[in-house]
Amino acid sequence: MKALLLSPYLQIAIVMGGSTSILSGMRFGEIGSSILPNILGFTIGAMAIVLSLATSQFFIFLAQGGEPRSFFMQLIANFLHYISLQATTIVVCVFEKQFGGIFLNFVASVMFIFSVLTPIAIGAQLFQMARLYNAHASLKDDGPQ
């Protein structure tokens, strides 16, 4: 919970969502319920691709001998977090779209912006994985000398 509250993505979402929903009067139920299903589908697809490659030697390397906090498990846990966040945000946006209200719109706006910002973090983690793969491939090609 502490990591969530200290997340710069959440802090940015609170500032942007709060100011946007209060100052502009924009309703996020409509926006979130139309955009987030596409982002959710992309996130599930990316997770499926990562899991389909999990039997390769590289992913066995990332699993670090089955460590519960291995890079591989952290990557999958982050994907699950993003999927849960996006699905919950869709539900909140549907409620906001149906019932309205200042508080519900504020919550929907913060969750929507947080849901849009979090793929940046997973993208950074996938980039880190690509760098590890690149380093792993260079070790594999050189072999022991």
What is the per-residue pLDDT across 2-15, written as a single tens digit (0 to 9) for each? Answer: 777 778 888 889 89
For residue 143, the model assigns a pLDDT of: 53
> DSSP labels for 13-58?
HHHHHHHIIIII---HHHHHHHHHHHHHHHHHHHHHHHHHTTTSHH
For residues 44 and 133, which has the higher predicted lDDT (pLDDT)? 44
Of 62-66, 70-74, 94-98, 99-103, which range is least confident?
A: 62-66
Share of the chain above pLDDT 70, in %: 96
CA atoms within 13 A of residue 99's CA, in its CB half-sphere: 12
Q: What is the mean pLDDT of residues 30-49?
A: 91
Q: Residue 54: pLDDT above 80?
A: no
Per-chain mean pLDDT for the chain: 85
pTM of the predicted model, to two decimals? 0.81
- Taking the C-alpha atoms of residue 115 and residue 40, their distance in angstroms, rounded to an integer, is 9
